[in-house]
Amino acid sequence: MRESKMNEMEELFGEARRAADDLYQLRDTYFPANPAEKISELQRKSDLALSLLDSLPLEQRRLPIQRRTYEFLRGKILDVFPDYRKEAEDHLSKAVKLNPSLADAWLCLGNCIWKKGDLASAKNCFTLALGKGSNKEILCQLSMLERRMAPGKKIFCFPLFFLSHVMLMKMILRRARKQYVSEARRHRELGLSTIADIQQLLQRLAKVSLPESSENQAEIVEESIQHAKEAITLDVKDGNSWYNLGNACLTSFFVTGAWDHSKLLQSLKAYQNAEKDERMKSNPDLYFNCATVNKYLENYERALSGFEAAALKDPGLNAVEEVQKIVDLLNKLESLLKGQARAKRHAALASSRAADNLNPSYKRITIDILSEGLNKAVAIVGKVLLFVKHESVAPLYYLVCDSNQICYVLSVYGISNDAIKEGDQLTLLEPYYRHVDLSWKGKDVETVASTLSAPQLPSGRNIVKDKVKPLDNESMSLKWTILVPCGNLVAKGSAGEMGYSAFFKYNKKERVAK
């Protein structure tokens, strides 16, 4: 009889575990157009799972082994929701006290505490869990938490940690107007169920203050990358671990100044490996983040396709808006470049002479002379005609004209929007050309892109990275240059030659990027 009751109890616990697993599977894969439907379904299934636990006789729940399992499962089920719930924390805390070796309970407790903004305590839970043995899921959560701790300022932080404050606030307010905001499955620290939750969210986030040093930020993100890689070594085929590494590399790109495209390439490769795991195909954030990387790499067709795929998998994402932003931007740049004939009256603005301080080892040429691939020992001088306004915070775009009256677009990362002004003269060094064919919804865009490398500092760090694209008058053809100052720039003005740091503000009319 006793053995029969024990078997019955184990069977009930087994059903409760499966119910909890199904609950989290629903959380991670179900994205209806109306987020309220998801919460409703989670509530329904969590009630069923809790009823299974409650069906256990009270006297059996009090047995030491059964009690810790009961507390763990009840806390895990209650914590499936995006918002912080003290009841869930209480049950999970009891579980780890009853069995300090229960790594899964430490993991759930860390996630729960994370939601209320206590990042240090959450990290301590993950660290204690890893002390029980290596675990890929815990390593991924620790890696994610470290990225959350990396920004030096008090900011909103979703999986795309680099998104601007303005864009995130617009997203929150837009969803609030629809009576519901749900971003929890993108980042488990944030989750809003009603408009009233917004104030609580802002108050919670405002309490988080972290190191201001960019060096500290970079170190924390590097730890995040190492933990992500460690998770992969435990299971090289696990898509979630690869996805987490992609996010870590993407965060590193922005924390270190948003100029090192090798970090973007590392992120893209990690996302591509994640896509090989069939289980990840239900993750809309993978498609969204991968599309974001492609956008910054100027792989616009891939970016558009990725955002569209993300929107289909989760209508609640702002992926449709990202598609429209790219389309609007390309159309705007196309219009500006097609209207370059009107800009010819500004040709006098484009200097007909090389900058006085141009290194003699560089030969000055114009855009139309650039050849496919790397153009060693050459420089392009252009005059800034117009600052191109658009919705995204980064990159910044400028319409530039060279001495042959050829216009192109300069896109800039890593500087403030008043760093380059209309009328400034820029010298861009060693362009690398590549041809890009883009087709979207029946509209063709044929472009040529190039990367401009620059002299190096004594440390070997590149000072400038650029991209150039030339113009074809007969088709929708776009060209622009990505200029990312990562060291010093030299400005020549009436006061003489002056040095500027990587993140600088121009005051003079003639600038030479070195």
**CATH number of the domain enclosing 168:** 1.25.40.10
Name the burial class of residue 459, with classes exposed (0-12), middle (13-18) and buried (19+) by CB atoms within 10 angstroms of its CB: exposed
**317 & 434 share domain:** no
Q: Is residue 84 part of a domain?
A: yes
Q: In which band, very low, low, confident or very high, does the pLDDT at 111 lie, cut at 50, 70 and 90?
A: very high
Are 447 and 436 in contact by the 8 Å Cβ rule? The answer is: yes
Structural domain includes residue 334: no
Alpha carbon distance 248, 121 (integer Å): 21
Question: What are the backbone dihedrals phi and psi of residue 12, each rounded to the nearest 5 degrees, phi first?
Answer: -65, -40
What is the overall mean pLDDT for the chain? 74
Domain closes at, from 325, 348, 378: 325
Q: What is the mean pLDDT of residues 327-355?
A: 65
Q: What is the pLDDT of residue 427?
A: 81
Residue 332 within any structural domain of the chain: no
At how many degrees (to 10) do helices 319-338 and 284-296 cross? 20
- What is the phi/psi pair of residue 331, to 5°? -65, -40
In a domain, 216, yes or no: yes
The pLDDT-based confidence of 473 (bands split at 50, 70, 90) is: very low
Do both 400 and 485 map to the same domain? Answer: yes
What pLDDT is attached to residue 216? Answer: 81
Same domain, residue pair 294 and 407: no
The answer to whether residues 387 and 243 belong to one domain is no
Average pLDDT in the 59-66 region? 81
Q: Identify whether residues 308 and 348 lie together within a single domain.
A: no
Query: Is residue 437 located within the same domain as residue 354?
Result: yes
Q: Which two tokens stand for residue 253?
A: 């790109």
Is residue 88 within a helix (H) or strand (E), and if so which, with residue range?
helix 86-98
Nearest 5°: the CA angle 171, 173, 178 is 100
pLDDT recorded at residue 414 = 67
- Give the CATH number for residue 411: 2.40.50
Q: What's the average model confidence in pLDDT over 488-505?
A: 29
| 20 and 128 part of one domain | yes
Select from 298, 325, 352 the last residue of a domain. 325
One-letter amino acid identity for 251? Answer: T
The mean per-residue pLDDT over the stretch 384-404 comes to 82
pLDDT for residue 173: 46
pLDDT score recorded for residue 358: 72
Residue 152 has pLDDT above 90, yes or no: no
Q: Measured between alpha carbons, how far is 368 from 495 in angstroms, rounded to an integer?
A: 34
Start-to-end CA span in the chain (Å):
84
High-pLDDT (> 90) share of the chain, % = 39
Across 188-200, average pLDDT:
42
69 occurs within a structural domain: yes
Closest CA to 496 of 484, 510, 485, 483: 510
- For the chain, how many structural domains are there in total? 2
Kindly tell me if the per-residue pLDDT of 426 is higher than 50: yes
Residues 456 and 404 in one domain: yes
Query: Is the pLDDT assigned to residue 113 strictly greater than 80?
Result: yes
Is 60 a residue whose pLDDT tops 90? no
Mark whether 309 and 398 lie in a shared domain.
no
Domain that holds residue 157: 2-325
Tell me the pTM: 0.73
* Separation in Å, CA 439 to CA 338, 414, 473: 18, 29, 17
Give the whole-angstrom CA distance, residue 238 versus residue 66: 32
Nearest Cα neighbor of 465 from 422, 506, 412, 511 is 412
pLDDT at res. 239: 97
DSSP 510: B
Contact 485, 461 (CB under 8 A): no
Q: Are residues 321 and 363 in the same domain?
A: no
Q: Is residue 288 located within the same domain as residue 434?
A: no
pLDDT greater than 90 at residue 346: no
- Residues 142 and 255 placed together within one structural domain of the fold: yes
More confident residue, 159 or 447: 447
**Secondary structure element (H or E) that encloses residue 323, with its range:** helix 319-338
331 occurs within a structural domain: no
CB atoms under 10 Å from CB of 43, counted, come to: 12
Interatomic CA distance for residues 7 and 1, integer angstroms: 10
Confidence of residue 51 (pLDDT cuts 50, 70, 90): very high
- Comparison of pLDDT for 307 and 156, the residue scoring more: 307
Q: What is the CA radius of gyration of the chain?
A: 27
What is the pLDDT, as a whole number, of residue 43? 97
The residue from 282, 300, 325 where one domain ends is 325
Is position 404 within any domain?
Answer: yes
Alpha carbon separation from 307 to 282, 291, 294 (Å, rounded): 14, 6, 10
Q: What is the pLDDT of residue 447?
A: 45
Name the range with the highest mean pLDDT among 12-16, 53-57, 103-107: 103-107
Pair of tokens at residue 119? 């990042």
- Whether residue 330 lies inside any domain: the answer is no
pLDDT in tens, 237-259: 999 999 999 999 999 988 887 77
Give, for 306, the enclosing helix (H) or strand (E): helix 300-313
* Residue 361 CB partners (closer than 8 Å, separation 6+): 377
For residue 75, what pLDDT is reported? 98
